[in-house]
Amino acid sequence: MKSKALAALAAFVFCFLIWSFQNDPGKSEKQQQKKQLPVFKLSTPQLSESFIQNAGKNILGISGKTFRLEDKMAVEENLKLIEMDMKTGAIWASDRAEMWNPESKAQLPDDKKARLIADNLLSQSKLLPQKTKFASYEYSNTGNSIASTFRMDTKQRSDKKIDVQINYSLKISPEFNPEFAKIPVLGGGTELSVTIGDGGKVIGFSGILRQAEEVAGMYEMIDNNAADEQFRRLTSNLKDVKFSSVLGYYTAPLGTESFLYPVYSYSGTATVNGEKIPLRIVNIPATTFNKFIPPAKEILSRTAKTFPQRRATVPEENTESGDKINTKQPLYFKGGNGFGYTPPQASWKECGTSWIGESGGLGGSRNNTKGFIDKLSAEGWAVNFNWGDGNAFESDWRRDDDSWVDATDFVFYAGHANMNGWTLSNPDDGSLSFSEVGTVPENPGDLWGQQDLEWVVIAACGPLQDAVLATGGGSVFERWDGAFDGLHQLLGYGSVTYDNEDEGKKLAQYCRDGNTIIDAWFRTAREVQPSSNTYGAPDGPAIYVGVMYAYNTSLPSPHNDHIWGRGSVAIDSRSPNYYVAIWTRC
């Protein structure tokens, strides 16, 4: 009996030790700490004068003189341009007479033939980074630019595709590690795009010629639950937040970062003024390679009695001149480029920004808008206002617009939006809806463009969704036609987008270079945003940038508007009868 008792006791102790070992929290924690992911070092492309000359010939068929301006090298011939950033490896090429032209009557190849044209271009011109043992560029999706028109008198609408876009993205190689290959690469910094127009002619190319050249190190993963808590703190000021995240690899879109690193990419919705809005996508570090840095909190100091200290000293009607041709001009080397040229100061050129940043869980909005006003201020523009978070009053856009938004030529907003409007702060209801700008121009009759406002950019998740892009998008014309009381252009997105710090400064710089405002905005979005997101219709999965503009057909179209001093600007149409919307996939 004694031996049996000892045997039973020994068996019990053995089982207890096994159970304890398997359920030891310290062991579990150690196993979690050992889970690691690689961070990749990105190559710096070797670009040269001969490379850009060959690329210009292969892409656009141009062979002009090569110019070097600071860190950029370019070839321009008529309205065909190829430009390279020698520091980052970013390349931009476009036939500016054909890209995003709503008058295009292009006969486009089908998607299969367009893909073949793009594949051949990349292989022949060495524009596709060489495959490494870590990663390779592969075909990802096909998109289009779409032009739509709407006539107010007949209520007739027409839609047409004006180009085909073939996109390629970086993917981790399964030959390196099958598990890591399942992790998607996110963001616009690792995508290449070929744009094809009439008759299969290549009319555009964009991308950064970088590749994952080595593993910079293995870094411990941050627990997804810990990242969730960080996201909850970011969005603690929002109501009814629902969110999800995906693990992915990311690098900044400008090419200034030299690493491809893991992040948790957060998407979700919140309730504003009783309506659900999609949130701009936010990335939080997924490994110890980089730390999560909470954004600084905005100090609320503005009151309802705060008024602008500076206004235009020259009436706009004395400076605005309509160009009946209103065409694009060569960008570089004609005196129109921003390099080495300081325009005279002119206080009648005014810009301003409103933004929702830290209060909405967006760490990028503050610097995004700052980049916009810094670039235009250096161009001689007065900065009328720069209101963020609790200071970004909705009333600036409606009942007090004569003192704020409509007393400014160019306004840039960054924050959250959906197809119906964008979020702002109290007083009022905390969002600007299409129903609050009127159902037709001049109703209520004193909003955007009656005074100064020419151009508005909404860097958010809308408000230009439309059924031509995705099911459930409604009609952009029916929602926003009442905003045009002299306003020239409403620019934004037709999908959910990523939070970032880059849109404002890139847009302003490309405008300063002499691009039309539409070209500058579309190029900015193409370089900053990826071509896809994780949302369904009407907010994804394809990401579209867009513009809506309006004019009276007896007056010049504002399609080719430039910022003041950098090209032609159409005169105001306060009773427009013709509307145009253009979108292109990012």
Round to whole Å and give the CA distance between 137 and 173.
10
Those residues with Cβ within 8 angstroms of residue 429's Cβ, 6 or more apart along the chain or in another chain: 273, 394
Is residue 541 within 8 Å of residue 533, measured between CB atoms? yes
Those residues with Cβ within 8 angstroms of residue 63's Cβ, 6 or more apart along the chain or in another chain: 53, 56, 57, 75, 77
Q: Where are the beta strands (DSSP E) in 359-474?
A: 382-388, 410-414, 417-418, 421-423, 431-433, 455-459
Round to whole Å and give the CA distance between 361 and 238.
8
pLDDT-derived band of residue 126, with 50, 70 and 90 as boundaries? confident
pLDDT-derived band of residue 19, with 50, 70 and 90 as boundaries? very low
Round to whole Å and give the CA distance between 194 and 184.
21
Structure confidence by residue, pLDDT tens digits, 212-224: 999 999 999 999 9
- The pLDDT assigned to 331 comes to 75
Average pLDDT over residues 183-201: 94
Question: Among 341, 411, 353, 348, which residue's Cα sits nearest to residue 382?
Answer: 348
Round to whole Å and give the CA distance between 335 and 173.
47
If one compares 334 and 433, the residue with the highest pLDDT of the two is 433
Is residue 39 within 8 Å of residue 259, measured between CB atoms? yes
What are the domain boundaries of the chain?
324-585
| Predicted confidence (pLDDT) at residue 25 exceeds the cutoff of 90 | no
Round to whole Å and give the CA distance between 247 and 286.
7
- The pLDDT assigned to 29 comes to 44
- The pLDDT assigned to 300 comes to 61
Q: Is 61 left (phi over 0), alpha (psi -120 to 50) or beta?
A: left
Burial 90-121 (b: 16+ CB within 10 A, else e): bbbbbbbebbbbbebebebbeeeebbebbeeb
User: What percentage of the chain exceeds 70 in pLDDT?
Assistant: 86
- The pLDDT assigned to 346 comes to 54
Query: What residues are paired with 432 via a beta bridge?
Result: 422
Structure confidence by residue, pLDDT tens digits, 77-117: 989 999 998 888 899 999 999 999 999 999 999 999 999 99
Query: What residues are paired with 272 via a beta bridge?
Result: 275
Torsion of CA 254, 411, 389, 387, to 10 degrees: 110
Is residue 381 within 8 Å of residue 351, measured between CB atoms? yes
Average pLDDT over residues 356-361: 94
Average pLDDT over residues 22-51: 72
Question: Among 185, 217, 263, which residue's Cα sits nearest to residue 38?
Answer: 217
Structure confidence by residue, pLDDT tens digits, 205-251: 999 989 999 999 999 999 999 999 999 999 999 999 999 999 999 99
- CATH number for 324-585 (one of 3.10.20, 3.40.50, 1.25.10, 1.10.3470): it is 3.40.50
| Predicted confidence (pLDDT) at residue 10 exceeds the cutoff of 60 | no
Round to whole Å and give the CA distance between 143 and 100.
13
Those residues with Cβ within 8 angstroms of residue 346's Cβ, 6 or more apart along the chain or in another chain: 314, 319, 380, 381, 564, 565
- The pLDDT assigned to 68 comes to 85
Round to whole Å and give the CA distance between 364 and 27.
39
Q: Residues, the chain, total?
A: 586
Average pLDDT over residues 316-323: 42
Q: Lowest-confidence range among 44-53, 90-99, 180-189? A: 44-53
Is residue 40 within 8 Å of residue 212, measured between CB atoms? yes
- The pLDDT assigned to 27 comes to 42
Residue type at 446 in one-letter notation: D
Query: What residues are paired with 442 via a beta bridge?
Result: none
Is residue 482 within 8 Å of residue 438, measured between CB atoms? yes
Strands 421-423 and 410-414: unpaired
- The pLDDT assigned to 82 comes to 95
If one compares 7 and 278, the residue with the highest pLDDT of the two is 278
Tokens at residue 127, please?
């524009």
| Predicted confidence (pLDDT) at residue 410 exceeds the cutoff of 80 | yes
Those residues with Cβ within 8 angstroms of residue 581's Cβ, 6 or more apart along the chain or in another chain: 147, 148, 149, 150, 464, 466, 476, 477, 546, 547, 548, 549
Average pLDDT over residues 174-178: 94
Question: Among 431, 220, 405, 232, which residue's Cα sits nearest to residue 308?
Answer: 405
Burial of residue 13 (CB within 10 Å: 0-12, 13-18, 19+) is exposed
Structure confidence by residue, pLDDT tens digits, 372-383: 999 999 988 999
Burial of residue 554 (CB within 10 Å: 0-12, 13-18, 19+) is exposed
Q: Taking the alpha carbons of 465, 466, 469, 470 in that order, is the dihedral positive or negative?
A: positive
Round to whole Å and give the CA distance between 117 and 193.
12
Those residues with Cβ within 8 angstroms of residue 60's Cβ, 6 or more apart along the chain or in another chain: 77, 80, 81, 82, 93, 95, 202, 203
- The pLDDT assigned to 443 comes to 56
- The pLDDT assigned to 348 comes to 82
